Structure 1
Amino acid sequence: MAPTLAQLRAVDALARTGQFSRAAREIGVSQPTVSAQVQAFESASPFRIFHRDGHSIRVAPEAESLVAKIRIALACLDEIERDMRGEGGAAARRLSLGFSAHRLIMPILSAFVRRHGEIRVVTRGGPSAELIEAVLKGDLDLAAISRPAPDPRLVCFELARCRIVVYGQKGHAALASGAIRIADLDGQKMVLWNRLSGTRSLLDRLAEAAGIVLDPVMEVATLDVAYAAAAVGIGLAIAVEGEVEADEHIDVAVLEDAGSDIGHYLVTLPEYVRHAAVAAFLALAAEGVVGPAPARF
């Protein structure tokens, strides 16, 4: 039996909130109604939709793709309803955008906000692998991520192809020439992104291929912390070219090894490409509005 719209809304609300009571408040029905709608949907499904552990409810791994499609379908339905009410354009629309390198996405994001001020943009920073999973689950409409090659599970629009740079405290001997090789990092103290980062994953692969062991004395999750740690001499840090520039506190050197470049991609699910807000963002990206924003730490 085909699922009803009420069932889809109940499943989506429960997936996002993790509680029947919160899901009920969000969609404006009673808690027993949400429970009945979810139960009816689960009964018709060939696999488990939710895992329940006491008061904690989460989407089962095998249902993540299905729940993402439900979220997309409901977003498209909301667009249809707005158009049918004559609101047209992008009125009251929303775009959820994740990014791993804020300086690289900021020029296009600022251009998008100027051109489409009627679309409410909700942003989220994080490492590339984490953002990809959020897109696959439908938690994000679109993400700007860094990785060596496109992800075959997603539609990938390449914004730029960038080199990796290594930076550290002003006057660091390893950075004096403005160029560095992966072998030069052998024995160096490092300030590295966590392992969900695309640039960290690439550096780890290059180090393994070169037969060296990196020495991360500190792992970070934000660029400002990485910069501050490198600037005071805790260790050498890495970034996508354009994220950091040499200044009175740090020197920067380009990593010259073959295969050390990385792509910066906008990624979304195939089902979302024609969604109005996503399509508008991708269209602006296609115009070539991209480049590093001014650094501020």
Structure 2
Amino acid sequence: MPSVTLAQMRAVEALARTGKFSRAAEDLGISQPSVSTQIQSFEELCRTRIFIRDGHNVSIAPSALDLIAKIRVTLKCLGEVDRVIADTTSLNTGTVSIGFSAHRLIMPILTAFVRQYPALRLTTRGGPSLELADAVLRGELDVAAISQVAPDSRLSSLLLHQSRVAIYGRKGDPMLEKGRLTLADLDGQDMVLWNKSSGTRTLLEAAAAKEGVRLKPVLEVATLDVAYAAAAAGIGLAISIEGEVRSDDHIDVVPLVEPELAIGHYLVTLPECRDHAAIQAFFEVAKDHALEMDGVLPFN
């Protein structure tokens, strides 16, 4: 029985990532018919549908998601082998893809890493924590900085920062004047919440359910800038981890107490990739600069 080839795996990964045969061919530096041939040969080997065609666009078949993730991890490992053979002493080439749920908290680490390894190219992606964790598991991201109550056993994790939950809203909002809020204060209040993929929202909802507090989301968001704008406009109170947003001319930020909720901010990667040179270097820089994750709010 024929075995899968490296060329087939590279074509499959490129098509899965770009969603178009033409872009996959351009990415690989080969002709579009060559990509089509490699994909067809791979699907014949698998005897199952890997991609769903919709005109010129291509998406991954749901049943093939795990297989695509394995291909991505395999290619990462092969790339690491090539790097070791070519250069065992320094990180002169390569790309590291990084996801983050709170840009302000990860920025000191990103800054230090860029200065220490200027030859490496970084790509970044923001989003809710659970979505970023899934992206790491699918092999789409090398590392991610995410907020979770506890480490995910499927990932290799480094605790960067332990944070409290904060509430923010329009400047001068009477709810925020006393400088702190309890969970009971949020009962029935209009709220701007991250979508269900947010680790902070998951923590808050679990605590609210335990305390019998009714949260009232009037707007769900997927990015920090929209959450900030909505809170500043008075649409509702928003949630964050400490340091993610700060009081300014438009919003006030106060701690959530009674109960005081804590969540960890973790750097995560796949266990199979933890010892890859670039990822290992990023974790080392993160260890050295984790305490510089600014933004600890002046809670009294």
Alpha carbons of structure 1 residues 72 and 190: separation in structure 2 relative to 1, 3 Å: same
2:170 counterpart residue number: 169
Distance 2:261 2:295 in 1: 24
Q: Is residue 181 from structure 1 mapped to residue 161 from structure 2 by the alignment?
A: no
2:206 counterpart residue number: 205
Q: Is residue 74 from structure 1 mapped to residue 61 from structure 2 by the alignment?
A: no
Distance 1:95 1:109 in 2: 11
Q: Which residues in structure 2 correspond to 1:1-297 (within 5 Å)?
A: 1-45=2-46, 47-86=48-87, 89-258=90-259, 260-293=261-294
Shift of 1:223: 2.4
Structure 2 residue runs without a partner (length 5+): none
Shift of 1:82: 4.4
Distance 1:262 1:38 in 2: 43
User: How many equivalent pairs are there?
Assistant: 295
Shift of 1:283: 1.2
Structure 1 range deviating more: 82-91 or 115-124: 82-91
Q: Give 2:25's aligned amino acid.
A: A
Distance 1:95 1:235 in 2: 37
Structure 1 range deviating more: 68-77 or 183-192: 68-77
Distance 2:251 2:59 in 1: 44
2:162/2:262 contact within 8 Å kept: yes
Q: Give 1:166's aligned amino acid.
A: I
Shift of 1:189: 1.7
Distance 1:145 1:286 in 2: 15
Q: Give 1:89's aligned amino acid.
A: S
TM-score by length of 2: 0.88
Q: Give 1:212's aligned amino acid.
A: V
2:183/2:208 contact within 8 Å kept: yes
What is the DSSP-based 3-state SS (H/G/I as helix, E as strand, rest coil) of the residue aligned with 1:243? coil
Distance 1:30 1:249 in 2: 53
Distance 1:149 1:87 in 2: 35
Alpha carbons of structure 1 residues 178 and 130: separation in structure 2 relative to 1, 3 Å: same
Distance 2:234 2:173 in 1: 9
Distance 2:225 2:87 in 1: 45
Could you tell me the percent identity over the aligned residues? 56
Structure 1 range deviating more: 23-32 or 125-134: 23-32
Deviations 1:73-98 (A, max 9, x none): 32333343345445852122111001
Distance 1:53 1:106 in 2: 39
What is the DSSP-based 3-state SS (H/G/I as helix, E as strand, rest coil) of the residue aligned with 2:290? coil
What is the DSSP-based 3-state SS (H/G/I as helix, E as strand, rest coil) of the residue aligned with 1:23? helix
Structure 1 range deviating more: 88-97 or 23-32: 23-32
Distance 1:248 1:50 in 2: 50
RMSD (CA atoms) = 2.4
Alpha carbons of structure 1 residues 21 and 223: separation in structure 2 relative to 1, 3 Å: closer
Shift of 1:127: 1.0
What is the DSSP-based 3-state SS (H/G/I as helix, E as strand, rest coil) of the residue aligned with 1:139? coil
Shift of 1:117: 1.0
1:95/1:122 contact within 8 Å kept: yes
1:107/1:290 contact within 8 Å kept: no
What is the DSSP-based 3-state SS (H/G/I as helix, E as strand, rest coil) of the residue aligned with 1:51? strand
2:243/2:295 contact within 8 Å kept: no
1:108/1:290 contact within 8 Å kept: no
Structure 1 range deviating more: 167-176 or 4-13: 167-176
2:105/2:295 contact within 8 Å kept: no
Distance 2:83 2:198 in 1: 38
Deviations 1:3-42 (A, max 9, x none): 1111111111111122223222322333332222222222
1:111/1:289 contact within 8 Å kept: no
